[in-house]
A and B are shown apart, each in its own frame.
Chain A
Amino acid sequence: MKKHLMLVALVSALALVAASCGGDEEGGETGPTGPTAETGAGVTQGGVVREELTDFGFTGAFDPTGEYLGTAWSWYQQMLIRGLLMYPGVAGEEGNVPVPDLATDLGQVSADGLTVTFTLKDGVMFGPPVDREITSQDIAFAFQRINTESLVAQYGNYYCGTIVGMTCDAKSQDEPIEGIETPDDKTIVFTLERPTGDLLYRLAQPATYAMPPEVAGCFDKAGDYGRFLISSGPYMFMGSEDLDITSCDTMKPIEGWDPDSHMYLVRNPNYDAATDDVRDANFDGWTLTINTNLEDSYNKLLNGELDLLHGAPPAAILQQYLTNPDLQDNFKSEEGDRTWYLTMNLLVPPFDDIHVRKAANFVVDKAAMLQSTGGPSSGLIATTIEPPSVLPDLADYDPYASPNHAGDVEAAKAEMQQSRYDEDGDGVCDDPACDNVLMVNRNYEPWTEYTPILQENFAEIGINLKVRELEVGTSYTTIQTMNNLVPIAANAGWGKDYGSPYGFDFFLFNTAGLSCEGSVNYSNVGITEDVAKECGDNVVDAYNAAVEANGEIPNVDADMEACVATPLGPEYNACWAALDQKLMEEIVPWVPYRWGAANIALGDTVENYTFDQSAGLIAYSKIGVNNGLTIEEVTGTA
């Protein structure tokens, strides 16, 4: 009964949020701001948003089933395709809460929490050349694709093991899933293995969005559908109408999207704004082109040849934006929902001792690190694992506080005194394990700026860091390979998958995140002897030595299980807040030092600037642009 009430409360709470978001199409509580802020109907209709990037950087070739890049998720959701639920495209906590899109509401949950039913809106169509109404089978098909092994659903873990019959190892995308029923074209019913508090978040992820089997079903290898994506949102790839779908063999990639150079979007003629409570879709087209010269892109923006750019600008240009009064309003620094941290390995001396890890948290000068990154425009000083817009309960939590966040050497020494690496009790490590301690880092700014700061900080407690600065991909591969036994690393950062703490924490600290290659639980929280044995003799030796010295390696799997089963709401957040506190105080795998900002630079042509918290990018569905251009003029196809 209690569980039933909690579920009712959850649905009610989300319905209220949805109502408030759905009714306010101008960006929720943040309101419109920016160089030419407009409101409501005042936003210019038409024009083309022109943007550049140095590289697409897709992880799954833009096939929604596998794609794991946050920017891709934003483009899907804000412009291209629609699912049962989505995010409202506003800033702050509200922006991280799902709202209905194709679904009429947030779903009906059964009393036992194991069945969730959604009804689809009428009249939502796929774009050309499919030109038919979206049905519940199109949603079910998206799940069948997630479940198909060869399609490499990169975040299939959110569904497999949660929805009955989903195992992510199906041999064909045509295999139906036991736990997904479509009794009619407008109804879809999910049966769950266990109550799942944040299911709605998972259903707002783009891999679950409607996909037409007659096109997507032609592609059975990872990423192949990306060039043929069929629109259901307000925009589609330019040239979509020319795609010949009479058979799988007649389809040629759509011209408006070339992964080597550009992505051009135009309006989808089948899109009906009456079916959409979230997207305003003010502009007529969007062009994204690759420019390998970042500085050049910013000069184009300043010259009026572009309308917006995402990401951190080169230092000289950033300074212009921060100091020139004419430009200050054109530069936005928003909460990026990303934590940058030092990761410490629980198996490797001297960080196998919790007191050393606590000392590390006290001694690091986070203020200096933030300053060397570019100051407040690059983010906030992190005091715990989850960023505040993901887990607001811990916004004021700082277990290792220091004056001005500049580090507290005395507190650090007090911790070091309690460790077995400080035999004379002077607060400075006097064990050989503290000499030449390997720290992996990236080989470019601002990470290279961190190196001297961290070497100086750690020297205060007797730890001499030997730093290896590597290209970013190599630095990740190095710490992801467990038998490298890297003691400490400064190259790592982690952004949310979605705005629930589960979507942030799970793989970082769960044993599911441990593997010999590609491990993301870099600290080895919860590692067992069996896992260590799989990864090599040196890992077993390190494991045995750590267990002998410190006892069993702490494990938080059970804590996570308990949190996952808690219905969404205050108790859910409290559960995850308690887990984060446990991690920060009883396990201490990280030194979180910065909650990264999302930077956006705008041209004077952009209207109704709104930030989409869920994606960490501009809310494309809300903004307008008053450049008066047509897609033909911009792409040279006039």
Chain B
Amino acid sequence: MLRYIVRRLLWVLVTLLLITLITYLIFFVMPPTKPEVNFAGKQPTPELVAEVRRQFGLDKPVIVQYGLFAKRIFLGDEYGWPGLGFSFTTRDALKPIIFDRLLVTLQLAIGAAILWLLVGIPIGILSALRPRSVFDRAAMGFALFGVSTPVFFLGPVLLYIFWFKLGWLPGSGFYSIGQYGFEEWFMHMIMPWSVLALAFAAFYARMTRGNLIEAMGEDYIRTARAKGLSERRVVMKHGLRASLTPIVTILGLDLGALLGGALITETVFNLPGLGAFAVKSVFSGDLYAILDVTLIAAFFITFANLVVDVVYAFLDPRVRYT
């Protein structure tokens, strides 16, 4: 198992390097905008452009620029380790900005994940146990609504109703626990969590339902019942364990992808997370910021894949790694 994990970690590194190289080529070699022109002002004379290009390190050959970028990542730069470079827009180190924003995205993603698991899986189980009942139909109607309602629609609607009209919840913005206390933080996160969780909860409910219905028809379930186990034990110990294995795979991938930034939710609720930062960076041509966010998102996705594969070995006795 250990050899397997080490081998996979090495592949994670190779994957990340490949992803940064491709991103580098896209944004540095064939950029839609020229950052050195953007940051030389409204009257970008050739002299100003040349000086900005020099300060941004864009005057070197592309391969050298990429080499320096990769070197900084592994060995650190003037702002510490890992070397994430500086922002063309603010001329500040990117590391503290990205780590601060990653924390916000983490709070959003983990809170939403807890919510969608708490809602989605029980709904899926109950629906599976009473297929075609009123509850099942209502639950699947909810699932259909959740999956088909986009965040950019639901977010403003909830804000309008619960903040602007009813005043039951506070409006948008991020209020950190450290600065504003738990209650303020929690109240401001309820709507973003709910909106982000809704689509996932609906999907997880459908998936749990389908998997459980399939599992409950398997021979080993009949055997378990024949052995006189209680229905509760049959469902929870045998049916659910098998049907939740694919859920773990999807959860890992979903969380990994969300940690790269829940762009629309962050934008609608004005949460300073990685997704909103990525969009801002793309529009302003802040190339190192784009690379860094890509790197972090790729890291979480590849790492989540690895974790899922390892967890599989514990969940499914048939899976063994060497």
| Interface positions of A (Cβ within 8 A of B) | 55, 57-61, 66, 68, 149-150, 152, 154-155, 157, 168-169, 221-224, 226-227, 253, 259-261, 289-293, 295-296, 299-300, 302-303, 305, 471, 473-474, 476-477, 480, 497, 507, 512-513, 515-518, 520, 636-637
- Neighbour of B46 across the interface among A305, A474, A515, A636, CB < 8 A: A515
A60 to B48, CA, bound (A): 12
Asked if B183 is an interface residue, CB under 8 A from chain A, the answer is no
Contact (Cβ within 8 A) A154 B41: yes
A474 to B37, CA, bound (A): 11
Chain B neighbourhood of A473, CB < 8 A: 32-33, 38, 283-285
Contact (Cβ within 8 A) B37 A518: yes
- Neighbour of B270 across the interface among A149, A169, A227, A292, CB < 8 A: A292
A150 to B50, CA, bound (A): 10
Contact (Cβ within 8 A) A154 B32: no
Contact (Cβ within 8 A) B37 A68: no
Number of interface residues of B (CB under 8 A): 51
Given the contacts A260-B90, A471-B32, A520 and B172 also touching, CB distance less than 8 Å? no
Please provide the chain B residues from 8 to 66 with a CB less than 8 Å away from any CB of chain A in the complex: 32-34, 37-49, 51-52, 55
Chain B neighbourhood of A507, CB < 8 A: 42-43
Nearest residue, chain B, Cβ from A519: B44
Chain A neighbourhood of B87, CB < 8 A: 259
Contact (Cβ within 8 A) B283 A292: no
Contact (Cβ within 8 A) A303 B164: yes
Q: How far is the CB of B312 from chain A (nearest CB, A)?
A: 38
Chain B neighbourhood of A290, CB < 8 A: 270, 272
Contact (Cβ within 8 A) A61 B171: no
Q: How far is the CB of A541 from chain B (nearest CB, A)?
A: 22
- Neighbour of A259 across the interface among B90, B159, B184, CB < 8 A: B90
Nearest residue, chain B, Cβ from A62: B90
Asked if B231 is an interface residue, CB under 8 A from chain A, the answer is no
Chain B neighbourhood of A157, CB < 8 A: 43, 45
Q: How far is the CB of A500 from chain B (nearest CB, A)?
A: 15
- Neighbour of B32 across the interface among A68, A292, A300, A477, CB < 8 A: A477
Please provide the chain B residues from 268 to 322 with a CB less than 8 Å away from any CB of chain A in the complex: 268-270, 272, 276-277, 280, 283-285
- Neighbour of B171 across the interface among A68, A305, A476, A515, CB < 8 A: A305
Given the contacts A224-B91, A226-B91, A517-B49, A296 and B43 also touching, CB distance less than 8 Å? no
Asked if B156 is an interface residue, CB under 8 A from chain A, the answer is yes
Given the contacts A223-B91, A295-B156, A260 and B272 also touching, CB distance less than 8 Å? yes
Chain B neighbourhood of A305, CB < 8 A: 171
A291 to B173, CA, bound (A): 7
Q: How far is the CB of A124 from chain B (nearest CB, A)?
A: 29
Contact (Cβ within 8 A) B41 A293: no
Q: What 16 new A-B contacts, CB under 8 Å, besides A259-B89, A292-B267, A517-B37?
A: A59-B38, A61-B89, A155-B43, A289-B173, A293-B268, A296-B172, A296-B270, A305-B171, A473-B32, A473-B38, A473-B285, A497-B42, A507-B42, A507-B43, A513-B43, A518-B46
Chain B neighbourhood of A260, CB < 8 A: 90, 97, 100-101, 272, 277
Task: Name B's interface SS.
Answer: helix
A155 to B91, CA, bound (A): 19
The digit string for B172-193, where 1 denotes a CB below 8 A from any CB of A, is 1101000110001000000000
Given the contacts A152-B55, A299-B159, A477-B32, A259 and B92 also touching, CB distance less than 8 Å? yes
A477 to B283, CA, bound (A): 13
- Neighbour of B37 across the interface among A293, A477, A637, CB < 8 A: A477
Please provide the chain B residues from 212 to 257 with a CB less than 8 Å away from any CB of chain A in the complex: none
Nearest residue, chain B, Cβ from A495: B42
Chain A neighbourhood of B268, CB < 8 A: 293, 296
Q: How far is the CB of A594 from chain B (nearest CB, A)?
A: 19
Chain A neighbourhood of B163, CB < 8 A: 299
Chain A neighbourhood of B284, CB < 8 A: 55, 57, 473
Contact (Cβ within 8 A) B45 A518: yes
Can you report 14 residue pairs joining A to B where beta carbons are below 8 Å apart?
A57-B284, A60-B41, A152-B39, A155-B42, A222-B52, A224-B91, A226-B91, A259-B90, A291-B270, A300-B171, A303-B171, A474-B33, A520-B42, A636-B180
Nearest residue, chain A, Cβ from B172: A296
Max chain A CB contacts within 10 Å: which of B48, B87, B180, B276? B48
A296 to B32, CA, bound (A): 30
Nearest residue, chain B, Cβ from A169: B47
Contact (Cβ within 8 A) A253 B92: yes
Contact (Cβ within 8 A) A292 B37: no
Contact (Cβ within 8 A) A152 B48: yes
Nearest residue, chain B, Cβ from A59: B41
- Neighbour of A477 across the interface among B33, B100, B272, CB < 8 A: B33
Asked if B136 is an interface residue, CB under 8 A from chain A, the answer is no
Contact (Cβ within 8 A) B34 A152: no
Chain B neighbourhood of A293, CB < 8 A: 156, 172, 267-270
A61 to B34, CA, bound (A): 17
Chain A neighbourhood of B90, CB < 8 A: 58, 61, 223, 226, 259-260
Q: How far is the CB of A314 from chain B (nearest CB, A)?
A: 11
A316 to B12, CA, bound (A): 48
Q: How far is the CB of A147 from chain B (nearest CB, A)?
A: 13
A169 to B49, CA, bound (A): 13
Please provide the chain B residues from 79 to 132 with a CB less than 8 Å away from any CB of chain A in the complex: 87, 89-92, 97, 100-101
Nearest residue, chain B, Cβ from A470: B32
Nearest residue, chain B, Cβ from A61: B91
Max chain B CB contacts within 10 Å: which of A169, A260, A517? A260
Given the contacts A154-B43, A260-B97, A58 and B89 also touching, CB distance less than 8 Å? yes
A221 to B78, CA, bound (A): 15
Nearest residue, chain B, Cβ from A497: B42
Q: How far is the CB of B39 from chain A (nearest CB, A)?
A: 6
Q: How far is the CB of A223 from chain B (nearest CB, A)?
A: 4
Chain B neighbourhood of A513, CB < 8 A: 43
**Interface pairs A-B: 6 shortest CB-CB:** A154-B41, A518-B44, A259-B90, A223-B91, A68-B41, A473-B33
Contact (Cβ within 8 A) A221 B89: no
Nearest residue, chain A, Cβ from B97: A260
Contact (Cβ within 8 A) A222 B55: yes
Max chain A CB contacts within 10 Å: which of B51, B100, B268, B270? B270
Q: How far is the CB of A584 from chain B (nearest CB, A)?
A: 22
Chain A neighbourhood of B47, CB < 8 A: 149, 168-169
Chain A neighbourhood of B269, CB < 8 A: 293
Nearest residue, chain B, Cβ from A299: B164
Contact (Cβ within 8 A) A518 B270: no
Chain A neighbourhood of B38, CB < 8 A: 59, 473
